[in-house]
A and B are shown apart, each in its own frame.
Chain A
Amino acid sequence: MSATPTTGLARFRLSLQDRVDGLCLLCMGGLMAALSRSGLYWYFLNPKFSGVTLGAGVLLCLAGLALLLRPMPGPTTAMRLWRQAVLLGFLSLAATAWGQAASEPLPGAMSPASSENAALAPEEAAPADPRPVLDGREYVRLNLAELYIMLDKGRKDYPERFALRAVVSRTPELDKRGHVLLKRTAVVCCLADSLELSFATRGNGLEALQTGDWVEVFGRLAPLDEKGADKGLVKAAPKGEGPSLSLTNPKFRIEVEAATPIQAPAFPYLFEFKEEPPFAW
């Protein structure tokens, strides 16, 4: 009479490790699936990967269910316990990071307009006018990363006059030299490979702007005099405050002809880069 429950208990004990593995996978898969559908996915990865993350999350849940519902007997080893503990540790870390993203931005990172807007899809509507005219001069709207990439590749066919949105960064050293820094964070795949791209900038309408203000500038590029008046200017740009690798263009500054303060975009990071019109916005 007592043999059956003992055998059942022994069988349950033997299959316990598979069940715990299954639970770990369900938690991991659930986290990935939930994050892929949340408004904060862009904070960690380029939104173009959200479908991949969702698919992987679903597959992990299926694998977890298979282990949970149809476990096989197997021994408890220190290695199995260790990998379960590490995965649970990661899940705690990820939950902390998700909570942090929901409550306040990372130090040095750019803030979105509001957490409400951040729940929207990342693709923004193209600007009403991709070629605005100001004081009789035509400008081409593009994003800062697109301009940076074109210059980086040595291309000469960048727009002569352009309009772009950026966040302002000021330091006493740059102030002394009559410049501010205009920057955007470009995310290729995930936050770990993000780049904070910036240009030293001077010109009209920048005086009243403070660090963290968003602005749309209308202007053109001018080469830096690296051996003369602009010596050390790029080195004065602040670096390393946030999670991204900071790069300031070493050859050109932006000469601003007009600047308009704007609301912070819902998605402060740039995820799309085109090298010919129509540019991403």
Chain B
Amino acid sequence: MDQNAFAIFAAIVTSIVLEAAPFLLLGSLLSSIIAVYVGDGALERLAQRSLPAQVCLGLFAGLLLPTCECGVVPVTRRLIKKGVPAGAAIPFMLAAPVVNPVSLAATWVAFQGDLTMVAGRAAMVLLPAAALGWALGGIKAAELLRPGLEMARAEGCSCGCGHGHDGHRRPGFLQGLPDVLRGTGREFLDMGLFLILGACAAGLFKVFLPQQWLGVVSANVWLAIPAMMLLAVLMSICSEADAFVAASLSMFPRPALLAFLALGPMLDLKLIPAIAGVFRRRVALVLLIAPAVGVYMLAMSLALSGAFK
């Protein structure tokens, strides 16, 4: 890498990490608050609901717990550790970065109040998220999460407060604050590792990917949809900002733009190492491959049917 390319690489990696860090921190803070203040039994009651109810709750929980994809994995990991069943946690992880007020409003603004784009984006995320929630719904936490990732605390309960389950009582706000701050810091470092590695990969692609190919592929829907899906993964833009970039790529057909908007929040260079690091290998493979296949099939169906011009 020559000096100019390195300068661009350094600036791009810095800007991606600085852009995503506040959202990752928010996710870590939410995760830590759940760990410290929410009783273990409160979320376990979700497991007693039927699988369709779990999936529905997971799909729309982002409306109450807004988070972008930069912070959704630590929140999901914590929810699963707190007893939230996979049938709710997996749909939440995949859908919440899009099906939340901030992201939906950004899409509405970027596409000039075009509700079909907003609805199309939400639907294209909800369908694969629901399908995966349904498919993985019966799996227990121990079979979902990698055991080696308890980086912050190797022992004790999941809140990181340093004592065993038996002695754990929900603390008051001020009493629990140091635990929340420590947990937030550890969680941020755990997941920040994946953010930085993902940003480095996105920076490398940004520096070395020739721009000329955009014009060539946009004219052909068979190329445009996979190309936009690839771009979504490589650019790794925050789900609360990607609509503005998609709106600026208007030379692409709308199904390809929807594929870009739907896939990025479920699969990008920040999420790949995070998902691979948090979930067991087989589950991670399913979580990485199935959304891409689902989005591709939905986008191609829209393009070939002519329903979304």
State the Cβ distance, A96 to closest chain B Cβ, in Å.
Answer: 5
- Among listed A1-9, A163-171, A207-215, A235-243, interface-contacting one: A235-243
Whether the Cβ atoms of B238 and A189 lie closer than 8 Å is yes
State in angstroms the CA–CA spacing of A195 and B188 once bound together: 30
State the Cβ distance, B56 to closest chain A Cβ, in Å.
Answer: 32
Whether the Cβ atoms of A250 and B189 lie closer than 8 Å is no
Say yes or no for B153: interface residue by CB 8 A criterion: yes
State in angstroms the CA–CA spacing of A227 and B181 once bound together: 63
Whether the Cβ atoms of B7 and A106 lie closer than 8 Å is yes
User: Of residues B4, B10, B160, B238, which shows the largest number of chain A Cβ atoms within 10 Å of its Cβ?
Assistant: B10
Interface set, chain B 145-202, CB cutoff 8 A to A: 148-149, 151, 153-154, 160-162, 178, 181-182, 184-186, 188-190, 192-193, 196-197, 202
Interface set, chain A 45-73, CB cutoff 8 A to B: 45, 49, 52-53, 55-56, 59-60, 62-67, 70, 72-73
**A100 — which chain B residues lie within 8 A by C-beta?**
7, 10-11
Which one, A70, A186, A188, A275, contacts B182 given CB within 8 A? A70
**A45 — which chain B residues lie within 8 A by C-beta?**
15, 18-19
Mark interface residues in B211-243 (1 if CB within 8 Å of A CB, else 0). Answer: 110110000000000000000000111100110
Whether the Cβ atoms of A243 and B160 lie closer than 8 Å is no
State the Cβ distance, B9 to closest chain A Cβ, in Å.
Answer: 8
A-B contact count (CB 8 A): 176
Given contacts A80-B151, A190-B19, A239-B212, contact A62 B11 (CB under 8 A): no
Given contacts A35-B18, A52-B22, A83-B151, contact A63 B10 (CB under 8 A): no
Whether the Cβ atoms of A153 and B16 lie closer than 8 Å is no
Say yes or no for B116: interface residue by CB 8 A criterion: no
Whether the Cβ atoms of A193 and B245 lie closer than 8 Å is yes
**A21 — which chain B residues lie within 8 A by C-beta?**
185-186, 189
Whether the Cβ atoms of A74 and B210 lie closer than 8 Å is no
Say yes or no for B115: interface residue by CB 8 A criterion: no
Whether the Cβ atoms of A60 and B196 lie closer than 8 Å is no
Whether the Cβ atoms of B25 and A59 lie closer than 8 Å is yes
Whether the Cβ atoms of A83 and B192 lie closer than 8 Å is yes
Say yes or no for B301: interface residue by CB 8 A criterion: no
Whether the Cβ atoms of A242 and B8 lie closer than 8 Å is yes
State in angstroms the CA–CA spacing of A84 and B190 once bound together: 9
Whether the Cβ atoms of B215 and A190 lie closer than 8 Å is no
Mark interface residues in A179-213 (1 if CB within 8 Å of B CB, else 0). Answer: 00000001011111101000000000000000000
State the Cβ distance, A46 to closest chain B Cβ, in Å.
Answer: 9
Whether the Cβ atoms of B211 and A189 lie closer than 8 Å is no
In the complex, residue of chain A having the shortest beta-carbon distance to the beta carbon of B197: A86
**A24 — which chain B residues lie within 8 A by C-beta?**
189
Whether the Cβ atoms of A149 and B248 lie closer than 8 Å is yes
State in angstroms the CA–CA spacing of A41 and B14 once bound together: 11
State the Cβ distance, B293 to closest chain A Cβ, in Å.
Answer: 26
Whether the Cβ atoms of A72 and B211 lie closer than 8 Å is no
**A64 — which chain B residues lie within 8 A by C-beta?**
185
**B185 — which chain A residues lie within 8 A by C-beta?**
21-22, 25, 60, 63-64, 66-67
Whether the Cβ atoms of A63 and B182 lie closer than 8 Å is yes
**A250 — which chain B residues lie within 8 A by C-beta?**
251
**B18 — which chain A residues lie within 8 A by C-beta?**
32, 35, 44-45, 53, 94, 190
State the Cβ distance, A63 to closest chain B Cβ, in Å.
Answer: 3
Whether the Cβ atoms of B215 and A235 lie closer than 8 Å is yes
Which one, A43, A189, A247, contacts B248 given CB within 8 A? A247
State the Cβ distance, B240 to closest chain A Cβ, in Å.
Answer: 8
State in angstroms the CA–CA spacing of A197 and B182 once bound together: 44
**B148 — which chain A residues lie within 8 A by C-beta?**
79
Whether the Cβ atoms of A72 and B162 lie closer than 8 Å is yes
**A75 — which chain B residues lie within 8 A by C-beta?**
154
**B212 — which chain A residues lie within 8 A by C-beta?**
239-240
State the Cβ distance, A144 to closest chain B Cβ, in Å.
Answer: 13
Whether the Cβ atoms of A87 and B192 lie closer than 8 Å is yes
**A44 — which chain B residues lie within 8 A by C-beta?**
11, 14-15, 18
State in angstroms the CA–CA spacing of A82 and B151 once bound together: 11
**A192 — which chain B residues lie within 8 A by C-beta?**
12, 15-16, 19, 202-203, 206, 235-237
Interface set, chain B 1-56, CB cutoff 8 A to A: 4, 7-8, 10-19, 21-22, 25, 29
Whether the Cβ atoms of B13 and A90 lie closer than 8 Å is yes
Which 6 residue pairs are nearest across A and B when measured between Cβ atoms? A63-B185, A56-B22, A66-B181, A190-B15, A191-B15, A97-B10
In addition to A100-B7, A149-B248, 7 A-B residue pairs with Cβ atoms within 8 Å of each other are: A66-B185, A97-B13, A100-B10, A188-B241, A189-B241, A189-B244, A193-B237
Binding site for A on B (CB under 8 A): 4, 7-8, 10-19, 21-22, 25, 29, 112, 148-149, 151, 153-154, 160-162, 178, 181-182, 184-186, 188-190, 192-193, 196-197, 202-203, 206, 210-212, 214-215, 235-238, 241-242, 244-245, 247-248, 250-251
Binding site for B on A (CB under 8 A): 18, 21-22, 24-25, 28, 32, 35, 43-45, 49, 52-53, 55-56, 59-60, 62-67, 70, 72-75, 77, 79-80, 82-84, 86-87, 89-90, 93-94, 96-98, 100-101, 106-107, 149, 152-153, 186, 188-193, 195, 235, 239-240, 242-243, 245-247, 250, 275
